[in-house]
Amino acid sequence: MNSVQVVNFQPHKSVYKPGAPVELLITLTNSSSEPLNINVDVSIKYLSQEVTRLTQAAKISPGERETLRLLWGPPLDAPKGYGADMIVRNSTGQPLAQAHTALDVLDSWTQAPRYGFLTDFSPGRDNLDETMNWLSRYHINGLQFYDWMYRHETYLTAEEPYQDLLGQTISRRTIDALIEAAHAHNIAAMPYTAIYGASVPFFEAHPDWALYKEDGKPEFFGEDFLVIMNPDPNLPWAAHLMREFTAILTQTEFDGIHLDQYGAPKIAYDVDGNKLDLAESIPGFINLTKETASAVKPGSNVVFNYVTNWPIETAAASRQDFIYIEVWAPYTLYQDLHKLIVNAQSLGGGRPVVLAAYIDPLRERNVQLAEAVIFASGGSHIELGEPGGILSDPYFPKYGQMSNELADVIRRYYDFALRYENILALDTRDATSAYEGRVIIEGVDTDASQAYNKVWPIARAGDETLSFSLVNMLEIASPEWNGLLLADPALQKDLQVRLYTEFPLTRLWWATPDGDDPTGQTLAFNRGEDDSGKYIEFNIPSLAYWDLIVLE
């Protein structure tokens, strides 16, 4: 066993603004009985090319833990993701340990949102720095503060602490401290709100503001828990909420407004019995929220939850900063995750897409395969927040706990998606349908119409790159992202690939998050032509869950 172990390697903040210095934190231990003189060598890469190299010498006492800090001034161009690859050597140059991380430089976190959550706002919470350091390890750059409010129609109160509608004790001091701690790590803080939920007493004071069923009874959410109000942007309830949002943004340091809805009703009636299609009023409500928030606090972000992808057709082009979709049936297949992302990107003018797809962390293979599909499709996944926690239920406080093994897998995947975000997400577009039938793997099915038991090529096209993610769905038990997988996909070795393309290729490389080395490895290739057109042929070493092939 090596005498040096890497305890942690990560950037000190979740994201960086152009011109801001990057600090890489390296924590090492010396398990030997002798002091060790070491040299730390870190290579910073953009895609597969080295940008710079950082080095530092150190001496670690026996049995001690040492934290080193390496500084780097990244180029000003943004948005851009980078990989960081570290090797620790002894005084004779022998490698002792290695580790990898990633970082990005963005003008705004919403260019590449990695959304997380918080649910504990109890008085006296004292793990704020620990929480933000943990989130920074996964590069979470925005947080949804879930159920932080006094009431759904009255978000702030002078009480300290206060009881929310469910009787939970919440501290405004804790909320403010969490926002401050998040900002210290360049993590945005977004307050949960709902576009139309109000308490029963509020409804009783304003019955003409509510939505009703065809029989004249009010629309309830839960068993008399909340009443659904009319979110038409021209009516009094919307004006009331805009005053509430103004109070949030003037009296707290929140960075915008997160808008929720409950997925139903889609059709309702106003107090006079007029039939209403909420898909027609929601876009205006989003736009009004953005207009109000931007006027109160310039730069404020607005996000809206498309529950079961509704009403994506009418509202995707409205003024939200990214598109957030809560995934429910009928979107049950891994293929549906991809379709939701690329459809929203298309309808939303290229806006980033975040999926809320809740998977029990005991289903570790499901989580890993879903991550591969989501990241390969250019999206991201809200799931991480409270330390060690992962969302497994739409009521966020019911989050699950990750095993150490799953935490390591998810960290590798987040690092990988960030390292290669310029070819997976930023300034790229889906090209999967354009390449259907044009990726041939010897002895392996790649049929796009097949739900599973295949290797699935997902293509992303940029101005100077074309990338193919190969997602391994061979011999899995179910095509459903929540269908229990009891075994990994069948591991593939030495895959022989033929790709039909007219792309003016100068270099081909391969990378994967499913091993110890996420860096790009150059691949040899041969050119050819047959009745189906021009092609290139190449071999890739292995495929566990997710491989990335990049044409430059």
CATH number, position 40:
2.60.40.10
Residue 194 lies in a domain: no
Q: Look up residue 254 and give its amino acid.
A: F
Q: Which residues pair with 45 in a beta bridge?
A: 50, 83
DSSP 217: P
Q: How far apart are CA 309 and CA 324, in angstroms?
A: 9
Residues 8-60 pLDDT 10s? 999 999 999 999 999 999 999 998 888 999 999 999 999 999 999 999 999 99
Residue 532 lies in a domain: yes
Q: Which residues pair with 117 in a beta bridge?
A: 144
Q: Which of 105, 138, 161 is the last residue of a domain?
A: 105
Q: How far apart are CA 36 and CA 59, in angstroms?
A: 5
Q: Which of 105, 135, 164 is the last residue of a domain?
A: 105
Domain residues for the domain of 14 are: 4-105
Among candidate residues 474, 466, 442, the one with its CA nearest the CA of residue 543: 474
Helix (H, G, I), strand (E, B) or coil at 204: helix
Count of domains observed in the chain: 2
Residue 528 lies in a domain: yes
**pTM of whole model > 0.95?**
yes
Residue 200 lies in a domain: no
Residues 198-208 pLDDT 10s? 999 999 999 99
Q: Which of 73, 105, 137 is the last residue of a domain?
A: 105
Residues 443-480 pLDDT 10s? 999 999 999 999 999 999 998 899 999 999 999 999 99
CA dist 186 → 105, 111, 133, 135, 318 (Å):
11, 14, 11, 11, 26
Q: Which residue has the tokens 């259907």?
A: 436
Q: How far apart are CA 31 and CA 164, in angstroms?
A: 50
List the structure tokens of 301.
């972000």
Contact criterion met (CB below 8 Å) for 514 and 546: yes
Residue 355 lies in a domain: no
Residues 225-278 pLDDT 10s? 999 999 999 999 999 999 999 999 999 999 999 999 999 999 999 999 999 999
Residue 417 lies in a domain: no
